[in-house]
Chains A and B, each alone.
Chain A
Amino acid sequence: MKLTRTGGLVAVALTGTLALAACGSDGGTTDNGSSTGNANISCASGSLKASGSSAQKNAIAEWVNAYQAACPDATIDYQANGSGAGVTDFINKQTAFAGSDSALKEEEQPKADARCASGPAINIPMVGGSINVVYNVEGVDKLILDAPTLAGIFDSTITKWNDPKIAALNAGVTLPDTSIAQFHRSDESGTTDNFTKYLIAKEVWDFEGGKAWEAKGGQGAKGSDGVANAVKSTPNSIGYVELSFAEDAGLSSAWIDNGNGPIEATSANAATTIASATVDGTGNNLPLKIDRAGTTGYPIVLVTYEITCEKGLSGSDLELTKSFLTYTASNDGQAALTDIGYVPITGDLLTKVQTAVSSIS
């Protein structure tokens, strides 16, 4: 009797575990809508491993879905284990390409070149993003900020919503006389890096920048979803997250005045800034220099790269990498980004990206 009962309990526990495990599978965005009828994909077959930046995880997932729907013989596995780990995996020949929030650093370039048997490793900008300054202040439908006020809020020198500096930018808006609850990322992230890059470009930020938050004051929350949730649940709060998180959480985003009047934080305005970036490399290596301080578009943007070999990938990796990246760099591939909260690469820059991908051999 006792044994049966234990057996029953074990069975219940096991079922529970299995059910939970089933729930644990990736809940990332899987919007299949745009993937039908991609006649433009020229398929390759086999399986491909890639890894890196978690910022482009949803973009890659979207592309992989579309690609695999068109090419049933291909399997592409992208591990979002972080940019640093992605570059290391690529250098150690574990993967065919790496997703990274930043172009290869000087000391990484020779190692990456050595990994590619017969040619250099190249940085190809592929996924753009917009970092929105989200806020939760009742009664304020449109908030305008500029670089000095942003820096003031995020280094805690501006502590009240009705501070004269904020009020001066928002004539006619009633700002509450309450403390600003400021949220930043408590974990290391490319979002923090690119957000502070803007403030540094405007020369209003007294810190060195980087993936870890450096300023004192404010509150840290883990992950973009953590910041979005914190802002949503805390009255009179402000934070920075990528566009898709701002949209998913239904948060209002501040307009940024970069010197030419306030600009709304939209995918299209961010695309303007990315398209105006200059290439800081030679040949088909395309690390970008983004003119955040002078752009007429939305200035707080980020660009993530795919890092792969221009020449020297091994046989099956080569076919599939080239075929997949050709699709992601195509107009269709880039158009798919806007719907899922990313920013497409446009204009001359996209042509350069397409040339770079076609040079892979």
Chain B
Amino acid sequence: MQSRLWDIGTDIGGTFTDILAVHTESGATRIAKVPSRPDAPVRAMLEAIAAVGLSEPDVRRFIHGTTRVTNALVEGRLPKVALISTEGFEDVLEIGRYRRTELYRLDVPPKAPPLVPPALCFGLKERLDHTGAVLLPLSEAEIARCVEWVKASGAKSVGICLLHAYANPVHEKQLMEALAPHVPHLCVSHEINPEAREYERASSTAFNAAAMPVAVDYLTELEEKLPIGPGLQVFHSAGAMVPLPAVKRRPLVMAMSGPAAGVSASARIARSLDRPRVLTFDMGGTTTDVCLIVDGVAEMTDTRMMGGRPLRQPMLAVHSIGAGGGSIVKLGSGGLSVGPESAGSEPGPACYGRGGTRATITDANAVLGYLDPEAKLGDTIQLDVAAARAVIAPIAEKLGMGIEETALGIVRVANAAMARALRRVTVERGVDGRDCTLLAFGGGGPMHAVGLADLYGLNEIIVPAASSAFSALGCLTADFSVLQQRTIRMPLDDFPARAFADRVAEMEAEASEPLIANGIPAAEIGMEHTALMRYAGQSEAIPVPFAMPLDPGVLHAAFTGRHQELFGYATAEQVVIESLRIQARRPSSTPVARPDVGRAQKPARTRDCVFAEGRLPTPILPRETLTDAVQGPVIIEDAWSTVIVPPGWQARGDAIGNLFLNRSAA
């Protein structure tokens, strides 16, 4: 009796749920796309499993990426959450940091409303200092007062964020113990984000507390419908898988789950194809995500804004911009611009024929002939090129240009927005982006990749196998890992070697515990150590990897070299290790082969397309049958995506379905 032979990865996006199933013995791979169901996500997942011809008893591992929990918060669907802070700091979430992002707007745009309203913020009498010393002990009477308040508040979930808890968690622990019996969901800042600066830590803790009720309900339902125990896993924002019990305590780790899975799959390809510098380019309907991968490892970041609120935890440094296929084109006083306003999925671009009346990037692509006018998108939408021309015509008229010329301009402006995102992730890390390989996936990535590469000066593009369900693939191929990060503030002069080693050991134990609990032998778990370092006077720390036992001299030299790379100078000032980041990991065991898209491909044909060189008859080739190198102009299609190869570029495939695009020899 053969059962449970399939490993499944899924990425639950706003419009579609992508699924990719791999047979654990044969390596056979199946891909499908089904509509997402924001109201019934677990049902959508079971439908996705059915769409690849499987059912629950076939599943061995099920790993999914989803941003639905954090999306719910960003969209304002908030459960009743309370925040406990040190007395005097009850308004910490509402005040924030004072800064605004639009300088010259007269009526200052409102701040995102705090995740916890003022009436549900409680000030606790207690106080520590920045060394962790107790200045005002937390009394039993104060604990009792707080417990009574929480009971009376009706809060479903409580976040606790006390001043300087990153330096000493004693009061948070005391309070957590006392509150646990009285509230369904509870989290503490020293677990969620044990780092200094109270607003960012409180915001992250409140995010987590708000996410807990939604996440726990959803994950519990999933466990019931897919009773495969430790095989059920979630993809986390730092680019790996975590077991469900850990996610229930820290649902915040799912914040960038889907995009992180795509980056993780990219890192694997970068390693297997031996590309030292890779930029990922994941262009969807409303946003585009990019990330830098150096030597097979994706860059990390500590903070990102979500719905106008900071979320601080170690995450893959995925940079998102509000420009995708559905982004609206505008003609302002400065010239043409695209996004961040989007036509969304309703009404969508004009060429979808569902009432869209404003020009989008997708409409420009339709005008240029890049989209198959006979294809049905998602089985329902018939492309309407005339509608696309009609919405671009008024813009062309104002510019005194032809419709096709205008569409080319729109695509260039869109590509420039993408190029800015690429610059952002390379410049901040001191890397010359022009040495990078562009890895293009998602709905729009393969369509815009060459234009972007030309604009940015890149020489190689890879469109990976399974590019349309790439995040789902990433869920399967990523490592199994847990990451801990904590402020320690230790100077490198008079280095406290013993205290440092103790702290590392402690954090290693914390990071490996969820993996061991999930059945992974301790001997198979590898550890990665990173010190976040700065000169004594600075505030921003830069990551420097190290090995144990630590040689402070080696670490100092590594830091100095990195500072020189990033800022162009280094000095003799004292150096501090601000934080420690420890990652426990075990590689994935899922084999992956060339995917079967499960649909018959259309035969080769020819269509007129418009490029900068003019209107050219362009062969349209099915991706599956592509073997030899082909010269642009050519369009390569599979069931879910379109790869544009303009004149001057060529494409070739490899045995497992990757496409390589380069400039043609002159």
A and B, one complex? no
Using CB atoms and an 8 Å cutoff, list the residues of chain A in contact with chain B: none
Using CB atoms and an 8 Å cutoff, list the residues of chain B in contact with chain A: none
